[in-house]
Amino acid sequence: MSLLAVGSIAFDNVKTPAGEVKDVLGGSGVYFSCAASFFGPVRLVGVVGEDFPDEHLEFLVSRGVDTAGITRCKGRTFRWCGSYEGAMNEATTLEVDLNVFGDFEPEIPPSYRDSLFLFLANGAPRTQLCVLDQLPQARFTVADTMNLWIENEREDLRKVIERVDLLFINEGEVRMLTGKSSLVEAGREAVAMGAKGVVVKKGEHGALLVMKEECFALPAFPVDRLVDPTGAGDSFAGGFMGYVSSAGDLEPETIKRGLAHATVAASFNVENFSLRRFSEIDRSDIDKRYQRYAAMLRLD
Amino acid sequence: MSLLAVGSIAFDNVKTPAGEVKDVLGGSGVYFSCAASFFGPVRLVGVVGEDFPDEHLEFLVSRGVDTAGITRCKGRTFRWCGSYEGAMNEATTLEVDLNVFGDFEPEIPPSYRDSLFLFLANGAPRTQLCVLDQLPQARFTVADTMNLWIENEREDLRKVIERVDLLFINEGEVRMLTGKSSLVEAGREAVAMGAKGVVVKKGEHGALLVMKEECFALPAFPVDRLVDPTGAGDSFAGGFMGYVSSAGDLEPETIKRGLAHATVAASFNVENFSLRRFSEIDRSDIDKRYQRYAAMLRLD
């Protein structure tokens, strides 16, 4: 079923203990849609500048991403420079140039308005609300967020949380949002703000889905060599939404398998810089690792 | 099959965000043996002072712990005062009085020398080596350790690691031991030191078993209300060794199910102070939660 993502498209400079890359393709919308595209078509709404090469757009198309929603504007593409140290659990942002992304007011093309699954990548809550307004028929919506909006746009963020099915948020951020230390308690508190569920992303420690009644934890797939965690959270969301939108129902088992596929997608993404690992694999690699992951967790 | 633990028996003062207790029963040997006793008999070697009440010994006996290996010495029982804040991932030790535990030189009673499963709770590596010397026929040995020994007794600790089947160690400590940030890499490095496997304990994030070829991750069982994490690591080890020693083989599936039972045992322990939660439950509660845990992780 039709999946739409609204997110950033970027050039990244990234330095990790495993190496360094410059001017590589990145952005939340890109990571999300590449991960989701293993499971079916995905529509991407975003903005690039005049400096964005056609080969990147061609790469997205080759992965099954519908790029008709990407606008090219006057100016330069969003740029992010960051580094990771030690266990690479957190990025240090060295530089952000919003460029054309700074004035991004996503307009959903009429041909996309029938999208039933919607992912709002991390962005200003006001922008996320504006997208929600344009897609009243969306059946299943997920929003990501970050510390900046929790600190500065809390009121609008609360409105987003009230309107989405799932909030994806990382460990430190859900603590910041709720003031609770225990992740289960923090998750419940965030659910009380109005979302149906909260998915707490814990990096190398996996993820936790907290709903009103239920709570569900998954470990990360243990990777032998972590190279670059950039985009892991968006790849996780992409694997999740890709799987769920292709599954045809929203049963608890589907949501659970979606989170497991999310884990597998993210585990591939962190094995190399930028989209390199994704560009080497296909659905059968995802499925094989999913089987290994399911076998690891089979206890009876 | 016969399981023997060597560890501390203590009085604890503990303060957590959920409350405060004074002079309660604690100690690594106590938590371990109470958790293991859900699965079968367990022999405990330890030392108490003249101030240790018979009712605590009677409690242990009532749980199926063989207390014939507990020596009563002149002086006071080991005492630990600690507190936890926030997510309670780490204890702050406020006071330690080793008392009779300071001169503890465990002598394994002749009737215990046929023990096939051995758990060496956190303690001086020299003491752990001395126990290993007394139990040459042990078939499966596990040792726990802590930062103090990694910093100050590294050479002796290396000898322990070479001689045991599994090293149980927490997240921060395995990083300290190996200098590696990634837990998979740190685990592999610790395995290269000579243990067959390393179990990295991650508190609310679960556990990771790293072996030469394989790697196996489990999430924690999500508990609604974390009251006191004291003894969680030893309860985890007790659930593991209790299950494995009662299972009759050391197949990978048994080790995996052992770690899952370890997770379940620890999840009960943290729901109240001291041994309170353990004293309320029996094997059927463990089994019920294990089934819920297995169902949570069933992906196919």
Cβ atoms within 10 Å, residue B272:
18
Closest chain A C-alpha to B166 CA, distance in angstroms: 19
Contact A219 B206 (CB under 8 A): yes
Residue A282 predicted with pLDDT over 70: yes
Residue in A181, A296, A300 nearest the CB of B86: A181
Q: What is the pLDDT of residues A136-163, one digit of tens each?
A: 999 999 999 999 999 999 999 999 999 9
Query: Among candidates A51, A43, A50, which has minimal Cα distance to A67?
Result: A43
Phi/psi for A226 (5° steps) reads -85, 120
Q: Suggest the residue from A205, A223, A240, A298 to mutate for an interface test with chain B (most B CBs closer than 10 A).
A: A205
| Domain residue extents for chain A | 3-296
Do the Cβ atoms of B294 and B279 come closer than 8 Å?
no
Structure-block tokens of residue B72 = 């009563």
DSSP H or E run through B259: helix B252-269
Q: Which amino acid is at A167?
A: L
Question: Looking at residue B265, what is its pLDDT?
Answer: 98
Mean pLDDT taken over chain B = 96
pLDDT, mean of residues B285-296:
97
CB contact under 8 A, B175 and A87: yes
Q: Please provide residue B163's backbone torsions phi and psi, each rounded to the nearest 5 degrees.
A: -100, -10
Q: Is A213 exposed, middle or buried (0-12, 13-18, 19+ CB in 10 A)?
A: exposed
User: If you write DSSP's letter for every residue of B36-72 in order, what string do you get?
Assistant: HTTTS-EEEEEEE-TT--HHHHHHHHHTTEE-TTEEE
- The reported pLDDT for the residue numbered A90 is 84
In sequence order, the 6+-apart residues with CB closer than 8 A to the CB of A298 are B297, B298, B299, B300
A294/chain B closest Cα distance in angstroms:
5
Local structure of A168: helix, strand or coil: strand
Q: Which residues contact A133 (CB under 8 A, 6 or more apart)?
A: none
Q: How far apart (Å, rounded) are the C-alpha atoms in residues B224 and A158?
A: 24
Helix (H, G, I), strand (E, B) or coil at A165: coil
In the predicted model, is pLDDT for residue A174 greater than 80?
yes
CB contact under 8 A, B298 and A293: no
Q: Is A93 helix (H, G, I), strand (E, B) or coil?
A: strand
Instruction: Categorize the per-residue pLDDT at A1 as very low, low, confident or very high, splitting at 50, 70 and 90.
Output: low
Residues of B within 8 A of A254 (CB-CB) are none
Fold of domain A3-296: UDP-N-acetylmuramoyl-L-alanine:D-glutamate ligase (3.40.1190)
The DSSP bridge pattern shows strands A207-211 and A215-218 to be: antiparallel
Q: A158-197 burial string, b = 16+ CB within 10 Å, else e?
A: ebbbebbbbbbbbbebbbebbebbbbbbbbbbbbeeebeb
Among chain B residues, CA nearest to A214:
B222
Complex ipTM value = 0.91
Among the partner-chain residues B88, B202, B260, the one whose CB lies closest to the CB of A299 is B260
| Residue of B22, B7, B10 whose CA lies nearest to B76 | B10
Q: What is the pLDDT of residues A198-226, one digit of tens each?
A: 999 999 999 999 999 889 999 999 998 89
CB-CB neighbors (< 8 A) of A300 in chain B: 291, 294, 298
pLDDT in tens, B224-253: 889 999 999 999 999 999 999 999 899 999
Strand ranges in chain A using DSSP code E only, listed in sequence order:
3-6, 10-16, 19-26, 42-48, 65-66, 70-72, 78-84, 91-97, 117-120, 140-144, 166-170, 197-201, 207-211, 215-218
CA A60 to chain centre: 16
| Contact: B223, A184; criterion CB under 8 Å | yes
**Tokens describing residue A289:** 């690792």
Q: Do A35 and A65 form a contact (C-beta atoms < 8 A)?
A: no
What pLDDT is attached to residue B1?
66
Share of chain A above pLDDT 90, in %: 94
The whole-angstrom separation of Cα A195 and Cα A188 is 10
CA distance B289 to B293: 6
Looking at domain B3-169+226-283, its CATH class is: alpha beta
Under an 8 A CB cutoff, do A296 and B216 touch? Answer: yes
Which of A75-89, A260-274, B25-39 bottoms out in mean pLDDT, i.e. has the lowest?
A75-89
> Structure pTM?
0.94
Provide the residue type at B134 as one letter.
Answer: Q
Provide mean pLDDT across the span B113-131. Answer: 96
With bands split at pLDDT 50, 70 and 90, how would you rate the model's confidence at A185?
A: very high
**Inter-residue contact A199 to A206 (CB < 8 Å):** no
Nearest partner of A259 among A285, A290, A229, judged by Cα: A290
* CA dihedral of residues A175, A178, A179, A184 (deg, nearest 10): -60
Q: Which residues of A fall below an 8 Å CB-CB distance to B?
A: 17, 85-88, 175, 181-185, 202, 204-206, 208, 210, 215-224, 226, 256-257, 260, 290-291, 293-294, 296-300
B181 touches A88 (CB < 8 A): yes
Lowest mean pLDDT among A92-96, A120-124, B88-92, B270-274: B88-92
Q: Are B77 and B104 in contact (CB under 8 A)?
A: no
Give which of A146, A113, A111, A138 is closest to A7, Cα–Cα: A146
